[in-house]
Amino acid sequence: MTFALPSFPSTHQMFGKRTIRPLGAAALCGIAFIEDTLIAVDTVKGHLLQIDPYSDNAKILNSHQVKEFTDVTGLAVWEETLWLTRGHNVYLCKLGSLGLEHFVTLPYPADGIAVWESTVYVSCQKLGDILIFDRDTRKQITKFYAPGVGVENLAVDEETLWVSDTVEQTVYCIDRATGEVQFGVLTPFESPTGIAIHKESETGKKTLYIAYASEEPYVRDNPNADPNHELSYRDRTFIHPLDYYYNSDKRYSLSNGYLIEMSYMEEISPLEEVYLPEVEWRIAMPSETARQKIKHIEPIGLPFTEEVIEGQRVAVFKFDALTPGERHIFGWKAVLEVRGIKYRITPGDVEDISEFSPELESRYLVDDDDLAMDTSLVRRAAREAIGTETNLLRKMYSIRNYVYDELSYGIKPHIDTPDVVLERGVGSCGEYVGVLLALCRLNGIPCRTVGRYKCPPYAEYQQVPLQPQYNHVWLEFYIPGFGWLPMESNPDDIGSGGPYPTRFFMGLCWYHIEIGKGIPFETLTSKGVRLTKEDVSIGELAINHIRFTILEELPPL
């Protein structure tokens, strides 16, 4: 069997931000480019696909060898040779014949593969390594530690080995000579299952393309059921370019971003009518950060004045009085540029850090939010979490893993204190944050709550109103010389006792919206006195409405 690769339109016309979705594909894993032609394997169906990236048109190249390609997870092309991983084995074959030849067998499943000249790289999740073989002798030369905990796919380019990890939702840039991780880049979608490098023939520009494969829920119309709408699941697989920018001085990478319109509005609708004189209603607005920029902001319903509290912008809505039966809607609408961010800071980088300032200690090392830091249960947990560790970053990582070991995720209508949460063993995102804050502060790590919402993570649903079902909070911890670093509350707690991914340990995806760092999101005052929830609960006084609209994907930085 032989096949010829066709010529396609110019790369300038063909590529860009375009998502490639070959019709009929179930789960694309290994991918590779041969000039402007994309080769991919559908691991479920066993199809070796030749894909036109401009039209999504696909052709099955192995029409009579589907069985041999079923369950293939990794794919690479070097010169005229195709390399594959399937089960415990690595195979190679000529592109013109596709007759598989055994290369090597691993003690555990081989996941991804990349080839550069005579060097063959094979990833193995079970071993936790990337194995390196000599193509001619078929002997292992050395190995690198795998940077993540999930199944990893590989691509190689001159001095760089690129590693995508399904669980970490991250692509790592690794020195292929030493195995040292240079930086990591969060992918805009979950479950990356393949990686390839495309080089434009005219400009020489290189672009990473990532394959994704997962299942998505959808509402199925079943005419034989009553009611006829049912929840079902279907395959979701596609290929999308990965944009990234690495700031070596500040040690972070930015990845694919989106222009998002976010609206936050309160509707006065009290459970019980109240009278409140001289009301000032404050709502924090989105923050300016390395990954989030405010392009425009305007009021909804009623005008507001703006205050700056501890560097954060706050909208202030003023009422002469709120009287029984009175109704209003008010809030803000913001247009934001948001991107994924991932910091690359190692324990060695924080060995000789300076002391915390007294102001930082007095603000972020104390119990100022019902953290139960004086209870024996929480204090014991703080000691157990770090053991004998003294390095700040390792302490932070140990505390996170301890909390993940002790808690599982569950939503409650109210937030309990950390001692109650630890005793119960189940917590919401806010309760995870409370426990993390308490244990970190008791161990001398300044930290604070950050939130407040996540845009529904459907980047392909552009120009469509999206509504989050819940709010969300995470935290930031402080390292002298580096500043405030983000850490998610519970999403990396995947259960099963670990190992836990570090996807959102010093990283946030594009859909995290940072609002009011270190200050309350919403407060209410009457006659200049701040009202507590025991006085008047905002949740019982008004209904909040939150809406996101993803306007477009941002161009690369």
Total tally of structural domains belonging to the chain = 3
Is there a single domain that holds both residue 222 and residue 308?
Answer: no
Cα(144)–Cα(123) distance, integer angstroms: 9
Determine the 3-state secondary structure of 325 from DSSP: coil
DSSP at 362: H
Query: Residue 101 domain-assigned?
Result: yes
Q: Last residue of some domain: 242, 277, 300?
A: 242
| Residue 507, pLDDT score | 98
Is there a single domain that holds both residue 49 and residue 170?
Answer: yes
Cα(442)–Cα(422) distance, integer angstroms: 15
Is there a single domain that holds both residue 279 and residue 405?
Answer: no
Query: Residue 289 domain-assigned?
Result: yes
| Residue 202, pLDDT score | 85
| Residue 203, pLDDT score | 87
Contact 547, 467 (CB under 8 A): yes
Tens place of pLDDT per residue across the chain (557 aa): 344 444 444 434 445 668 999 999 999 999 999 999 999 999 999 999 999 999 999 999 999 999 999 999 999 999 999 999 999 999 999 998 999 999 999 999 999 999 999 999 999 999 999 999 999 999 999 999 999 999 999 999 999 999 999 999 999 999 999 999 999 999 999 999 999 999 988 888 999 999 999 999 999 999 999 999 999 999 999 999 999 999 999 999 999 999 999 999 999 999 999 999 999 999 999 999 999 999 999 999 999 999 999 999 999 999 999 999 999 999 999 999 999 999 999 999 999 899 999 999 999 999 988 999 999 999 999 999 999 999 999 999 999 999 999 999 998 878 899 999 999 999 999 999 999 999 999 999 999 999 899 999 999 999 999 999 889 999 999 999 999 999 999 999 998 788 999 999 999 999 999 999 989 999 999 999 999 988 999 999 999 999 999 999 999 98
Within 10 angstroms of residue 242's Cβ, the number of other Cβ atoms is 22
Cα(65)–Cα(507) distance, integer angstroms: 42
Query: Residue 5 domain-assigned?
Result: no
Query: Residue 387 domain-assigned?
Result: yes
Question: Domain containing 75 — which CATH number?
Answer: 2.120.10.30
The closest alpha carbon to 43, from 213, 240, 216, belongs to 213
| Residue 460, pLDDT score | 93
| Residue 414, pLDDT score | 83
Q: Is 466 left (phi over 0), alpha (psi -120 to 50) or beta?
A: beta
| Residue 3, pLDDT score | 45
Query: Residue 119 domain-assigned?
Result: yes
Is there a single domain that holds both residue 336 and residue 428?
Answer: no
Query: Residue 353 domain-assigned?
Result: yes
Is there a single domain that holds both residue 333 and residue 350?
Answer: no
- Give residue 3's identity as a one-letter amino acid code: F
Cα(287)–Cα(334) distance, integer angstroms: 11
Determine the 3-state secondary structure of 166 from DSSP: coil
Cα(460)–Cα(189) distance, integer angstroms: 10
Contact 442, 449 (CB under 8 A): no
Cis bond before residue 358 (omega within 30° of 0): no
**Domain span including residue 300:** 255-340+521-553
Is there a single domain that holds both residue 229 and residue 351?
Answer: no
Is there a single domain that holds both residue 223 and residue 83?
Answer: yes
**What pTM, to 2 d.p., does this model score?**
0.94
